[in-house]
Structures are given as structure tokens and as C-alpha cells.
Amino acid sequence: MEIPYTIDSRPDTGLFNAKLGIWLFLASEVMLFGALFTSYILLRVSAPEWPHGSLILNVPLATLNTVVLITSSITMVMAWASLKMNNFKKYRTYMGLTFLAGVAFLLIKGVEYGTKFEHHLFPSNSTFFAIYYTLTGLHGLHVIGGMIVNGYLWGPGSRMWKTRPERFTNRVEVAGLYWHFVDLVWIFLFPVLYLL
Amino acid sequence: MRKYIFSTDHKVIGIQYGVTSLVFLLFGFTLMMMMRWQLAYPGIPVPAIRFALPFVVVGLIILGFSKFRSGIHLLVGTVFLLLGWMIYYLTTDELSMPDGIMLPEFYNSLGAMHGTIMVFLGVVPLAVGAFGNYVMPLQIGAPDMAFPKLNMMSYWVYFAGGVVMLASFFVPGGAANSGWTSYPPLSDIATTGQTMWLFGMVFLITSSLLGSVNFIVTVIQLRVKGLTFMRLPFFVWAQFITSFLLLLAFPPLEAAGVLQLMDRLAGTSFFLPTGLVVSGEILPNTGGGSPLLWQHLFWFLAHPEVYVLILPAMGIIAEVIANNTRKPLWGYKSLVYAVIFLGFMSFIVWAHHMFLTGMGTAISSFFQTTTMIISIPSVVILSVLLMSLWGGSIRFNTPMLFALAFLPMFGIGGLTGLPLGLSSSDIPLHDTYYVIGHFHYVVAPGTLFALFAGIYFWFPKITGRQMNERLGKIHFWGSFVCMNLIFFPMLIQGLAGVSRRLYDGGTQYAHALNVLYLNEWMSVGAWAMAVFQIVFILNLFFSLRKGKKASENHWQATTLEWAATPTPPVAHGNFARVPEVFRGPYEYSVPGHPTDFTTQNQPS
């Protein structure tokens, strides 16, 4: 039994199954983060005072993290493009770089968290820190999830390239869509928490 | 292992969902029966044996049917014995039931878990997980779901969620006791059971997310040649729209669940206002949060959830009615447009659950307007189903009886909802038994009857055997009478102003005294109802082994699951030959045709 349209696109929709699936998944992710951002707005407008993020959070480190994530999005696209051009070696390099960028992001985030903990700034400190830790923590979990997938596609999962190269390319494309979304969430988080 | 337990075949997963959710429905119902004891006879010790014994007896009978050869009988029989033990344990536990008398905390736990289990572990998994999974791919001619492994994962994540919920009964302080709505600030400071509840919900939300992505992709991508959207059976449409509701409405509750977990575990104050006093002391939390935020996030899910409960039921009813009136559905297109519009509107009505929170008249007016608007497509759907009966030569078999009863029962449920949707009439009715009566009419004799209809209707396809008609009719008439005996008095009590949250059923309130006698009626109704469900359970397991053999197209139906697959369908792949569709879903009694039904895959 073969399920149709796992590799080729269905003519009338122009999509293969997993691509439609990941877009739907991302739609639900939009609702998840949308609800959290909405909560942020509601809590902030009803608060008597709200600290300015740039005064208590580390803006330079977060800027660096933004650069790291955007770079990783570029390398992710390059990884997919390399497969499309039948260059598996280049794919391994770019995918490896994407994974390392994820590691770098988490390390920087870890340093940020660490210094906050040193100063005894915990989620229970204020509503600002509560929402800061919740949003960045949930985003961090999404980064870890993406890294697991990327790591798998870089390592053991890449054996599929030899047997079913088209399907493997599709997988990388889908993982890429997710990775870009994680990147995009950060691009919203950064100004909302650190700058506004 | 691969074949029965970690199967990726949508039919096996559908059956797994079906069996598990039916067990949870029965368990949730039993929790309610224990509550009804307390309401009818406040302060009198609960007869633990009387609640536990039927489970043991039914379990033993099912084990007897198995003759130790049939895996499903052995499994379900054992589950029944375990449930019997669990109920005995719960009703004799000295911490929650000293001398057999129920403590208020335990009563609250039962109420919260009844709601949670019925909605999230019973009805939705049965309507979507079981029926959607089993029937939908067959109806669109697909070999399986688009992502079989995700489908398997969806079931096992759901199962894990169910286990967490059941386990929460055994933690200190018992299961969650803040209602199925888990309103803060009470839920923020409740016992450990609430944390378990939140973890359980995260599992269930993940499961429904995986399922809904799978359903939508399957409907869009895997329809066979010729099956355009306007040729889809209405059941598929209903599942399709339901999946969108699950996909987009559940994440905000997940967000809310994460925030509440942070409140409970990390000491944040998302839902705790400043200066909250608990037991005479100010909470150490910083405050600054908003309990209303939870209500908005919760109802943003939970109103679409109402439609998740009812849409698949309407889908089943449409199939059963078209088949048993032997004529096309009257107004198929308006049915489809109504269901799409209904799905869309369901996202902008949520705050009609919150008229009493002081949102302000402008916002109340907005939500009561949208609520009145959403009643239009519901009425369209019900009218279409009702009109479809006109002039048909109706076959009164068990599924059709359930389908026919669905129409007036859902009608009562819907019409009693109108006063709740208008803020001025909602104010006196809010939080009374009227609300309970209203939504139970929608979900119990509404959705549950549709699900029963579906079970009787598709049982021959799934197992290759028929269910016993006589027992089916006993089940139907008994349930029909009992349902009304349980839920109609609730409307009366509610109009008298009896609050839904009274642990003693209102004995201490003067305005409740006139309608207090109804408590006993309702409780007797609920217990009698249980007896008729035993008939159903025994019929199910008896027919599985001894039922009369069913033919390929048992009901002479037109849709692909009957027309193009063997009975039962072949594992992995469904169709011996991929079918092609040439016509609409309900071509019954087409003039000039030799038979009174023309299947969808019959070339013109």
C-alpha cells in the first residue's frame, strides 16, 4: 500500500502531503503564540506599571541571538537548495551549520538565564519576568524540537538520500519551514520583550 | 504488536479510539451516578458495592463471551474489573468518604472529572478519533490517513493523557476539583490533582493537534479521482470543519494551560490578582494577574469545542437519515455552506459564557449578536435534516431510531440555549441547573444518540456482523425515556433558580424546596439509564462473536465505505481496487434506475 502524494504534489492543490501538514501545524502554532502574545498585551495594559525591557534585559546578547537565528535560517535554505542541486556534501555542511547555530542560540540564552538567576530574578519576581520566562522558555523548547529534527536529518535520517532522494528533500523542506517559523517567533519576541 | 497495539492502520486506530473512549464514557457516567447519590440522598452513606458490582458482573460476562480466545473481550473484560475495583476504592476511601459519606471536596472532584472525562476523553475521541478515523478515509477512497504514524502517535498520546487523568484520583487531595473549566484563582491554589489535570490536558491537546492536521491533509489530498468537494458525504464535511476547529481553537487553551502551570509550579501570578486573601492570609505572590484572562483563553477553545462535540454527530445523523429515508438529503449544498459558516462563527462567540463577568454592555452586545447569528446555521442544519424526512419511506431500524430522536432532543438543547445567549436573560439563568439541562440536551441525547446511531450503523461494516435489533430497540427506548427523565427536571430546577454547584442539591435554600423532589427523580433516571447501557454493552460484545453475518453493503448505501470495500475492509489499503467516483453522495431512489440506490462509484 502506498499513500498518494507523499513525494509528488497533487495537481489540484500543488502540494505534497507533508507540506500541507506543516503549514497547518504552523497555523496552530500561530494560535498558540498568538494567545500568549495576547495575554502579554492584556497583562501589560492592565498593569499599573511595566518595566522597560531594555533596562533589565541584555539587549546586546539578544541582538546577537537574533543574528544567529537569522543566519541559521539562511543556512537552512542553503541546505535545502544544495539537495535540490544534488550536492549532498554541501547539504551536510549547511545542515551542520544550522544545527550549530541552534546550539549557539541556546548557549547564549543559557548565559542570559544564568545571569538573571544570579541576580535572583525568577519568574515569580514580577509579571514581566513571568511572561519573559514563559515566552522565551516555550520558544527555547521549540528551538530544541527543531534541533532534534535537524540533527536527525543531518545524521541518521540522511541515509534516506541514497534510497529516496526526493522524499528526503521534501523532509528537509518541511523541517526548514518549521525552522523559519521558530526564527519568526523570535523576531517578534525580541522587540516585544527587549525593546518595547 | 505492530498489528494490534502500535498499529498504523487507520481502522485499527479507529477501533482503539472507539473502545477506549467508550470505556471513558462509562467511567465518566459512573462518576456522575455517584454524585447523583449525594444529590438525591445528601449525607447518607454511598452504597459502594452497588456502584462497583455492575462493573464486575459485566466484566465477568464479557470475559465469559471471550471463551479466552478473543483478545478484545479479554482486554475489555479486564478493564471492567479494574474499573469496578477503582470505583470501590474511591467510594470506600476514608479520606474522601469518611463512613461512606461524601465530602464536599470529593464531590467537586467528581464534578470536575465528570466534565473533563466526558468531553475530552469520551465524546470527542469517539466522535472524531473513532468515527472520523475509521469511516472518513473509507468514504473518500483513501488507502489510509495521510500520516499513519502521526495517527498512531495521536492515539497513544491521548491514551497517556487518559492515564494521567485517571492517576490523578490517587494523588494527595484527589483529582482536580475546580470544575472542568478550571477557573482561577481557585484552580491556581488547588491541590496537586489540578497539576495532573493540566499535564493531562497538554497530552490531550497534543493528541488532537496531531489528529486534526492528519484529518485535514487527508481530506484535501487523498480524495479519489472524481470525488470533488461538493460530492463529499456530509459526514466528511463535518469531520473536515471539526478538524479546523480543533486545530485552531485548542492552542489558546494550551497557552492558558502553560500559564496556569507556571502559576502553580513557578510561583508566577498570571491569573492571580494583587492582594488575594486565602484562608485569612494574603498570598505571597506578586499579583497583577487577571483571572478573567483564563476565562477568555479557556472559552476561546471551549466554545468551538461545543461544535466539535456536535458537528461530527450531525454528520453521522445526515448519513443515517439519507440512508434510511431512501432519498437524497434535502438541500445538501445549504448544509455544506451552513457548516462552513458555523465553523467560522464559532470562533467569535466565546464570551457569551462570560456575561456575568462585567465585560461591559458594548462587548456583551457584540457577543450576543454573534451568538444569535450562529444559531442560524444550526437551525439550517437541523431543518435540512428534518425536511429530509418528508416523503421518505422510512426504515425504522435502531440507527434510524436514534437519528430520529436526535432531532427533537438536539432541538430542545438548541432552543433552550437561546435565553442563555442573550445577556439580559442569561443573568438570572447563569450558573443554575438550567445551563446544565441545556448543554446536556445538546450533548447527551443529542451527540451521544448520534454516536449510538453511528455505532449501530457502521458495526456491520467494521465487524462483518449485525448487532441484535431487539436489544438495540430496548437500548434505544430505555435511553430515550431516561435521558428526558434526567435532563428535563434540570430545566425546571434551573428556572426555579437552583444553583448548579450545590453539594447537597439545594436543601438549604428556600427557593429550591419546591423542586427538591426532582433530585431523586433525576438520580433514579440516571441509574435506570445505566441499566439500559448494560444492555448495549452486552449487545456489543455478544454480537461481536455471535451476531448474524452482514452482507457487503448491509444498508444498501451509496457512499464508498459500503460500496467499494469488502466487509470488513482489508487491513492496510482498504480497497482491492482504487475506486473512482462519478456522482454525488446521496443518489437514492433516482427515477429510472433499477435499484433504489446508485453507489458513488457506479459509472453513469
Q: Does A26 touch chain B (CB under 8 A)?
A: no
Chain B CB contacts of A1 below 8 Å? 143-144, 572-573
Q: What is the mean pLDDT of residues B82-107?
A: 90
Q: What is the pLDDT of residues B444-494, one digit of tens each?
A: 999 999 999 999 999 999 999 999 999 999 999 999 999 999 999 999 999
In chain B, % of residues over pLDDT 90: 83
Residue A151 lies in a domain: yes
- Give the integer Cα–Cα distance in Å for B149 and B134: 15
Say how far apart CA A101 and CA A178 lie, in whole Å: 15
Yes or no: say if B246 and B343 are a contact pair by the CB < 8 Å rule: no
Residue A159's domain comprises 32-43+54-195
Residue among A92, A97, A106 nearest A71 (CA): A97
Q: Is residue A3 part of a domain?
A: no
Highest mean pLDDT among B49-63, B154-168, B585-599: B154-168
What mean pLDDT comes out for the span A52-64?
Answer: 94
Sort out which chain A residues have CB atoms less than 8 A from B288's CB and list them: 43, 47-48, 126-127
One-letter identity of residue B266: A
CA distance B13 to B129: 8
State percent of chain A over pLDDT 70.
99
Q: Do A133 and B222 touch (CB under 8 A)?
A: no
Model pLDDT for residues B490-520, shown as the tens digit of each residue:
999 999 999 999 998 889 999 999 999 999 9
What residues of A are in contact with residue B247 (Cβ under 8 Å)? Answer: 24, 27-28
pLDDT digit string, tens, across residues B220-276:
999 999 999 999 999 999 999 999 999 999 999 999 999 999 999 999 999 999 888
Residue A44 pLDDT > 80, yes or no?
yes
Helix (H) or strand (E) holding B277: strand B277-278
Is residue A159 situated within a structural domain?
A: yes
CA distance B400 to B386: 13
Query: Minimal Cα–Cα distance from B50 to chain A, Å?
Result: 45
What residues in B contact A133, CB-CB < 8 Å? 262, 266
C-alpha A138/C-alpha A188 separation (Å) is: 14
The share of chain A scoring above pLDDT 90, in percent, equals 96
Query: Read out DSSP for A36-92?
Result: HHHHHHHHHHHSS----HHHHS-HHHHHHHHHHHHHHHHHHHHHHHHHHTT-HHHHH
State the Cα–Cα distance between residues B103 and B124, nearest whole angstrom. 30
B576 touches chain A (CB under 8 A): no
Residues B304, A71: Cα–Cα separation, whole Å: 39
Q: Is the pLDDT of residue B72 over 80?
A: yes
If one counts the domains in chain B, the total is: 1
Residue B73: HSE in the Cβ half-sphere, 13 Å Cα cutoff: 21
Contact B217 A28 (CB under 8 A): no
The shortest C-alpha distance from A92 to chain B (Å) reads 27
Q: What's the distance, Cα to Cα, between the start and end of chain A in Å? A: 54
C-alpha cell at B177: 476539583
What are residue B469's phi and psi, to 5 degrees? -65, -40
Interface of B with A in 171-210 (CB under 8 A): 209
Whether residue B59 is contained in a domain is answered as no
Burial class (CB in 10 A: 0-12, 13-18, 19+), A47: middle
Each residue of B494-526: b (16+ CB within 10 Å) or e?
Answer: bbbbbebebbbbbeeeeebeebbebbeebbebb
Q: Are A152 and A77 in contact (CB under 8 A)?
A: no
Q: Is the pLDDT of residue B163 over 80?
A: yes
Mutate which of A12, A22, A24 to disrupt the B interface (most B C-beta within 10 Å)? Answer: A24
| Max intra-chain CA distance, chain B | 81
How much is the pLDDT for A93? 97
Asked if A173 and A80 touch (Cβ cutoff 8 Å), the reply is yes
DSSP H helices, B388-516, are 398-415, 418-421, 423-429, 433-442, 449-463, 469-495
Of B188, B286, B257, whose CA–CA distance to A124 is shortest? B286
Any domain includes B553: yes
User: Is A139 within the bounds of a domain?
Assistant: yes
Asked if A39's CB is within 8 angstroms of B293's CB, the reply is: yes
Distances (CA, A) of B226 to B141, B241, B301, B337, B590: 10, 21, 36, 21, 20
| Residue B569 included in any domain | no
User: Is some CB atom of chain B closer than 8 A to the CB atom of A186?
Assistant: no
> Which contacts (CB < 8 Å, 24+ apart) does range B3-8 have?
B3/B571, B4/B71, B6/B152, B6/B156, B7/B152, B8/B144, B8/B148, B8/B149, B8/B151, B8/B152
Decide if B250 and A2 are in contact by the 8 Å CB cutoff.
Answer: no
Mean pLDDT of chain B: 94
Which pLDDT value is given to residue B332? 95
Is B187 contained in some domain? yes
Is B89 within the bounds of a domain?
Answer: no
Kindly state the average pLDDT of the residues B190-217: 96
Query: What's residue B577's pLDDT?
Result: 85
In this predicted structure, the answer to whether residue B542 has a pLDDT above a threshold of 70 is yes
A118-127, A155-164, B275-284, B411-420 — which is least confidently predicted? B275-284
Instruction: Report ipTM (2 d.p.).
Output: 0.95
Domain with residue A183: its CATH number is 1.20.120.80
Q: How far is CA B60 from CA B21, B28, B158, B546, in A?
A: 20, 21, 27, 17
Position B6 confidence tier, pLDDT thresholds 50, 70, 90: confident
For B450, the domain range is 10-43+102-271+288-563
Per residue in B300-359, pLDDT tens? 999 999 999 999 999 999 999 999 999 999 999 999 999 999 999 999 999 999 999 988
CATH number at residue B151: 1.20.210.10
Tell me whether residue A85 is in a domain.
Answer: yes
Of A1, A34, A46, the CB nearest to B290: A46
Q: Is residue A81 part of a domain?
A: yes
Give the whole-angstrom CA distance, residue B125 versus residue B155.
9
Query: B435 lies in a domain?
Result: yes
| Torsion angle defined by CA atoms of residues A144, A145, A147 and A149, in that order, rounded to the nearest 10 degrees | 160
Helix (H) or strand (E) holding B84: helix B71-92
pTM: 0.96
User: Is residue A26 in a domain?
Assistant: no
With cell 461530527, the residue in question is B312
Cell of B384: 435540512
pLDDT surpasses 70 at B2: no
**Candidate from A1, A24, A138 with C-beta closest to B143:** A1
CA separation for the pair A15, B217 (Å, rounded): 10
Q: How far apart are CA B86 and CA B447, in angstroms?
A: 28
Q: Are B414 and B382 in contact (CB under 8 A)?
A: yes
Residue closest to B103 by CA, chosen among B181, B164, B34: B34
> In this structure, is residue B570 part of a structural domain?
no
Three-state secondary structure call for residue B499: strand
**Alpha carbons B470 and A140: distance in angstroms, whole number:** 59
Dihedral sign (CA A50, A52, A58, A64): positive
Contact of B227 with chain A, judged by CB distance below 8 Å, is answered with no
Residue A23 lies in a domain: no
Report how many domains make up chain A. 1
Dmax (CA) for chain A in angstroms is 62
Which is nearest to B341 in space by CA: B213, B422, B420, B241? B241
Specify whether the CB–CB gap between B555 and B494 falls below 8 A.
Answer: no
- Kindly tell me if the per-residue pLDDT of A1 is higher than 80: no
b/e per residue, A175-184, with b = 16+ CB within 10 A? bbbbbbbbbb
Mean pLDDT, residues A32-61: 94
Q: Residue A122: closest CA among chain B residues belongs to which residue?
A: B266
DSSP 3-state of B418? helix
Lowest model confidence (mean pLDDT) among A68-77, A111-120, B60-69:
B60-69
Is B252 touching A (CB cutoff 8 A)? yes
Does pLDDT of B204 surpass 90?
yes
Residue A25 and residue B146: Cβ atoms within 8 Å?
no
Cis peptide before B291 (omega within 30 of 0): no
What residue of A is the nearest CA neighbor of B259? A134
Is the pLDDT score of B1 beyond 70?
Answer: no
- CB within 8 Å: B221 and A15: yes
Q: Do B286 and A124 touch (CB under 8 A)?
A: yes
- Whether B280 is in a domain gets the answer no
Which of A142-156, B142-156, B228-242, B558-572 shows the lowest per-residue confidence on average (mean pLDDT)?
Answer: B558-572
State whether B222 and A4 contact (CB < 8 Å): yes
Q: Report, in angstroms and rounded to the nearest whole number, the Rg of chain A calculated over CA atoms.
A: 19
pLDDT digits (tens, 9 = 90+) for A20-41: 999 999 999 999 999 999 999 9
